[in-house]
Amino acid sequence: CQKKMPKVSYTDEFKSIIRVLKLEESIEGIIFGDIFLKEHKDWIDSVCRELDMEPVLPRWNMDTEKILDGFIEDDPARL
């Protein structure tokens, strides 16, 4: 699902979208691509807890150089 998000009411709009997806698609978790920034992870954890969703952050605290190397190895044409 992709949607342009408003800057002013981002959190409310995000929660609304997740609530709809939870009802219509029976989703139980959300995958986030965040690597670092504790404040944002705290926001993710708080919102997911409120919505009874499982936050999945597979790249959290990964070495950014290893992530970049992985992208390069997967598709050198991206450079």
Q: pLDDT tens digits for 16-68?
A: 999 999 999 999 999 998 998 999 999 999 999 999 999 999 999 999 998 88
CA neighbor of 34 nearest in space, from 24, 45, 23:
45
Q: Is the pLDDT of residue 79 over 80?
A: no
Q: Would you say 43 and 16 are in contact if contact means Cβ atoms under 8 Å apart? A: no
Neighbours of 60 (CB within 10 A): 15
Q: How many CB atoms are located within 10 Å of the residue 53 CB?
A: 19
Write down the pTM of the prediction.
Answer: 0.79
Structural contact between residues 41 and 34, judged by C-beta atoms closer than 8 angstroms: yes
Per DSSP, the three-state class of 49 is helix
Give the three-class secondary structure for 16. helix
- Reported confidence tier of residue 1, pLDDT bands at 50, 70, 90: low
